[in-house]
Amino acid sequence: MTAIDPEKAVEVKPNLWWIGWPDYDAGFSNNPYLLIEGDEVVLFDPGSRFDTHWGWVKKKIESIIPVSKITMVVVHHQDPDLCAAIPLVEEEIGVNNFEIVTTERTSLFIPYYGVKTEVTAVDDGESIEIGTEGRELLFITSPYLHFPGAMVTYDTKEKVLFSSDIFAGFSLDWSLYANEYYLEAMKVFSQPYLSDTRHVKNFLRKIEGLDIDMICPQHGSILQGEIIQKAIDTLRDLEVGVWE
Ligand SMILES: [Fe+2]
Ligand SMILES: [Fe+2]
């Protein structure tokens, strides 16, 4: 597998970049993504506000497009490793000069970070059209995985599932794309962080009909090809909600 330069944004699909930071010591990568379609510039799960973290993310965005061009921030739940940097995004762009999209339950917590921009709440199955070519971001709620108001996003054009903490992994041996060890890394993350098997099964039923070409989780590695089905099968049979 080709090694990537973690200091650089990596284009994983046309106009879709991984702009995250691997924390090799903790075995914990954080994976914000940037998607550009026409005039729409969408930032998924911006991340933490540590200088080192947001510093990397900002530098990577700036290597593609000025941060001020971001039009939408999608957050999949309210955890600080996704949301704490939103006020820093606001400092760059200005309050209410971009849209924040999440579920209603999550929207209640976003202001707790000091965010002043109004939050757009979306329902399960709702989509937002981006650009002018009919590309849609479809939002699918994923209750209790691992927060009641959690959701994921499906990009209808490139068939990418932005899966947040589902399909996420912990690994000291991190690679941008999932390798043969990734299912183990995914188990290590999923057992303590995903709440209950019935919620996992419910979620997997909801995504059953989707044609998924790539899964972009918020931690761990990007999945494409055969490992997608293996990961789905692994999660379906995994005992979760376990912390020993
Ligand atoms: Fe989380
Ligand atoms: Fe997370």
Ligand closest to CA 145 = 1
Ligand closest to CA 48 = 2
Instruction: Determine which of 20-34, 41-55, 68-82, 105-119 has the lowest per-residue pLDDT on average.
Output: 20-34
- CB 53 within 8 Å of CB 14: no
- CB 193 within 8 Å of CB 168: yes
Mean pLDDT of 213-222: 98
- Compute the distance from residue 221 Cα to the ligand 2 centre, in Å: 13
27 vs 129: which has the higher pLDDT = 129
- Compute the distance from residue 218 Cα to the ligand 2 centre, in Å: 6
What's the DSSP call for residue 109? T
Task: Kindly indicate the confidence band of residue 244, based on its pLDDT and cuts at 50, 70 and 90.
Answer: confident
For 106, half-sphere exposure in the C-beta direction (CA atoms, 13 angstrom radius) is 32
Residue 3: pLDDT over 90: no
Q: What is the mean pLDDT of the chain?
A: 95
Closest CA to 235 of 152, 155, 172: 152
DSSP letters of 131-161? TTTTEEEEEEE-TTSSSTT-EEEEETTTTEE
Whether cis (ω within 30° of 0) applies to the bond prior to 146 is yes
51 vs 42: which has the higher pLDDT = 42
- Classify each residue of 88-120 as buried b or exposed e, where b means 16 or more C-beta atoms within 10 Å of its C-beta: bbbebbeeeebbbbbbebbbebbeebebebebe
Mean pLDDT of 37-47: 97
CA distances from 200 to 58, 162, 165, 203, 232 (A): 33, 16, 12, 5, 10
Mean pLDDT of 218-224: 97
Give percent of the chain above pLDDT 90: 89
Q: At what angle do helices 197-207 and 227-237 cross, to 10 degrees?
A: 150
Mean pLDDT of 215-243: 97
Q: Which tens digit of pLDDT belongs to each residue from 148-202?
A: 999 999 999 999 999 999 999 998 888 999 998 999 999 999 999 999 999 999 9
Q: At what angle do helices 227-237 and 182-193 cross, to 10 degrees?
A: 30
pLDDT value of residue 204: 98
Mean pLDDT of 70-86: 97
Mean pLDDT of 9-25: 93
- Compute the distance from residue 79 Cα to the ligand 1 centre, in Å: 5
Structure tokens at 96: 């209410």
- Compute the distance from residue 77 Cα to the ligand 1 centre, in Å: 7
Q: Which tens digit of pLDDT belongs to each residue from 84-129?
A: 999 999 999 999 999 999 999 999 999 999 999 999 999 999 999 9
- Compute the distance from residue 215 Cα to the ligand 2 centre, in Å: 15
- Compute the distance from residue 71 Cα to the ligand 2 centre, in Å: 23
Closest CA to 19 of 3, 1, 35: 35
Map out the domains of the chain with their CATH numbers.
10-237 (3.60.15.10)
State whether residue 79 is helix, strand or coil. coil
State whether residue 69 is helix, strand or coil. helix
Mean pLDDT of 129-148: 96
- Compute the distance from residue 133 Cα to the ligand 2 centre, in Å: 31
